[in-house]
Structure 1
Amino acid sequence: MTTIYGMIDSGNCYKPRLLMAKLGQPFKHVEVSSHVGATRSAEYLAKNPNGMVPLLELDDGRLLAESNAILIYLAEGTRFLPADRYRRGLAYQWLFFEQYSHEPYIAVRKAILTFPERAKDATPERLELTLTRGNKALGVMEKQLSKTPFFAGDEMSIADIALYAYTHDANKGGFDLGAYPAVSAWLERVRADPGHVPEEWLP
């Protein structure tokens, strides 16, 4: 059976769990938490030398790291990866946006405000930077979602799953989602999509 190594409280790890749930595909979850150093164990580093989660392990033992790469792999041949070349490119565009312009600020701000081991990083300068750039990312999303219901067009794709993971609870990082009505409406559309599960869900 396919195995996903991950953390229950990580948005990056939520992404493949959410996609697998929507696809109705069985998998095993193995908790590997950085909070207790499990991602740095010799056993785990033998699987992923980068010491990060999530990590996908296929039935035949092959491994695939990086949350958005895992989404692309799992979505192949499904409704979540557009067949049209341009729309597929748009989905990839938003995956890169999520990792470079969204996650480093929205996810990081939530982490330094909610995880005790990250409290030392909550300097006034870091909090201001993550708030400013996180709001910039939300503003970019707002503009797109004012024009299309989902990021790659009229249908939900892996771009929406990737961006949902850290946007749905951005309020925990001090972001006011009420200031972004198109984003808020999109969050409801993602939740209404068949097979949706909350972040704490495990198979």
Structure 2
Amino acid sequence: MYTVYGDYRSGNCYKIKLMLNLLGLEYQWQAVDILKGDTQTAEFLEKNPNGKIPVLELEDGTCLWESNAILNFLADGSEFLPSEPRLRTQVLQWQFFEQYSHEPYIAVARFIQLYLGLPEDRRHEYEKLQTRGYKALDVMEHQLSRTPYLVGEQYSIADIALYAYTHVAHEGGFDLSRYPGIQAWLQRVASHPKHIGMLD
């Protein structure tokens, strides 16, 4: 059985929870409180020297970290990761986009608002994050106005990677009402029979 070290409110951790549920795999959840310094203890740093969640611990004690890397491990050989090289590369393309052009803005704005309560000393940073976050949403809308999922017709880990923080983007101050393609996609992802919510 897998063990996931994570925070239920974290989009990066939610990716792993959603993937495990879609695949019907058993796991146990070990709650980690980043605000209390749980990721900086000697015990946790043995599992991930980078001191971040999520961490997926395998039965033999091997620990995997970086959410999108874990998604690729779990999805290997499943319907959620195409085997055809071009499609597989497009999945990776969207995962890199998520980590470099989406998560640093949408997730951080959400962290400042949801976790920290939007303190005055971070308001300027928060407002700057809005511009770049909306740019990322524009890119997603461009694709999702043309295809039902980010990589064509098939639900994949590209969608899981980007669904995680997009579906709670409003908690970071982002208005999704102007993005019909994204809104339809969010509903499409959530309609999967094995879907599980972030806080379920």
User: Which residue identity lines up with residue 168 of structure 1 in the other structure?
Assistant: H
Structure 1 counterpart of 2:29:
29
Q: Distance in 1 between matches of 2:199 and 2:110?
A: 16
Q: Percent identity?
A: 52
CA deviation map 1:114-154 (0-9, x unaligned)? 11287365232x12221000000000000000111101110
Q: Is there any run of 5+ residues in structure 2 with no aligned partner, and where?
A: none
C-alpha contact 1:2 1:58 (8 A) present in aligned 2: yes
Greater CA drift, 67-76 or 35-44: 35-44
Structure 1 counterpart of 2:41:
41
Greater CA drift, 110-119 or 18-27: 110-119
How many corresponding residue pairs? 200
Structure 1 counterpart of 2:98:
98
Q: Distance in 2 between matches of 1:122 and 1:164?
A: 26
Structure 1 counterpart of 2:70:
70
Matches within 5 A, 1:179-194: 179-194=178-193
SS class of match (1:122): helix
Structure 2 counterpart of 1:128:
127
Q: Is there any run of 5+ residues in structure 1 with no aligned partner, and where?
A: none
Cα RMSD (Å):
1.2
C-alpha contact 1:6 1:31 (8 A) present in aligned 2: yes
TM-score normalised by length of structure 2: 0.97
SS class of match (1:159): helix
SS class of match (2:56): strand
C-alpha contact 1:112 1:121 (8 A) present in aligned 2: no
Q: Distance in 1 between matches of 2:9 and 2:142?
A: 29
CA deviation map 1:53-74 (0-9, x unaligned)? 0001111111110000000000
